[in-house]
Every structure is written in C-alpha cells, then in structure tokens.
Amino acid sequence: MYNFKDKVVLVVGSSRGIGKRVHDKFTEYGADVFGISTDNCDISKQADIELYFSDLESVDILVNVAAINYSNKIEDVGFDEWDEVLDVNLRGYYYIIKKALGIMPDGGKIVNVSSIAGRHRSYTSGVHYTASKAGIIGLTKQVAFEVADRGINVNAVCPSQTKTDMLLETMTEKEIKKLEQVIPMGRLAEIDEVVNPIVFLCSDGASYITGTTLDINGGQL
C-alpha cells in the first residue's frame, strides 16, 4: 500500500480512461489530486496552461496522460491535423512540464505516458500520433538529465493497446480479436496493469529510476 499523504499530484488528461484511474488511485492513497481535462484547460494553448498554473502553488508529482489520435494514413494527414496532434501530445507535455518544474520541490516525480507506437509502430494510429509518442520518449530522457541534480525523477511508460472505453468505442470486436493475435500474451492490457506501474514510478521505491522508458505491452517488443 502506498502513502502519498501531503503530496500534491497533477494528472493531465484525468477525465477518462488511464488518466481517470490514475487520478482515482492517487486519491485513494491520500494525495491532494488536481486534474486537467478538456473541460478546464486546452493544453494545446499556452494561455490556458498559464491560467491553470496561476492557481497552483506547488506540484510534487506530475503525470501526463492526455493525448489525441486519428487513424489517417500519411497521404490523408493534412498540416492542420498534424499540428493538432503534435500540439496536444508533445508541445502540451513540454509546456506543462516546464510550468510544473517551476513549482516542483526537489525530489519530485514526473511520469509521461508515451505508447508502444513511440517505441515501435502502430497498427491503429496515424503517423502524427506515432511521431508525437516517440517525441515524448526523447523529451523524457532529456528532461530527466537536466533535472537529475534536483533529485527529480522523470520517466515514461509505453503501454500497448489497453482496454479503455475509448478503445472499445472505436474498435469492433473483430478488430480487437485481430489485434490480440499479435500480442504474445494474447489479450489487451487492463487499465490497472498500466496505472500500477505509473504509481510505482511516483513512489519512493523508484527513487533511483530516472530517464527510463518502461514497456507495458504483453511482450510485443
């Protein structure tokens, strides 16, 4: 059982799926949890992020989960769609991390949710999504290097296809079965199988882990 009492946690993308479960888990473990969702902050807009952080005094733990995705192939991806995805999935992470570090005490924790797409490729996502998730891995490693002297741990997780409402709403049962055939464990990840490693990386047990990328993919790589 973890104890995050007196810790301030900011979860970006907290309204559903993995982000909502992360929010709920930290609440269960006693943290003071704040959530950014599309209802209260558009992370593709610097002004929205500035306004949101103006009400925060400190952040001990930051978990970046928010992402948007389209399945179009490169021939069908326009510049506007490319920018939309990168503005949320990568630029948004950069600016939120930048703001959070300004109010994060030494010894803080940051976990960024990338994807198997960023490590490998995607069967279901577009080139912009894959590029943004690869960028998150590079962002994580560089930030970890730059803030290591402050004792701040910065890591990423790369989950594969996870049984979220969004996935179940956008894929047919036949498509899911086909996807499961390429996963050595033969099934999608459950949400807690992604969330529990995130919580661990924010705990004292992970105090010497930084700049790493944790694959959560049922053996796909």
Q: Which residues are catalytic?
A: 129
CA atoms within 13 A on the CB side of 25: 23
Q: Which residues contact 169 (CB under 8 A, 6 or more apart)?
A: none
Are the C-beta atoms of 129 and 174 separated by less than 8 Å?
no
Beta bridge partners of 156: 112, 213
Contacts of 73 (CB under 8 A, 6+ apart): 126, 127
Q: Which two tokens stand for residue 129?
A: 């999504």
Which DSSP string do the residues of 29-91 spell out, in sequence order? TT-EEEEE-TTT--TT-HHHHHHHHTT-S--SEEEE---------GGG--HHHHHHHHIIIII
DSSP letter at 186?
A: S
Q: Nearest Cα to 63, choosing from 220, 195, 206?
A: 195
Question: SS3 of 10, please?
Answer: strand
**41, 90 in Cβ contact below 8 A?**
no
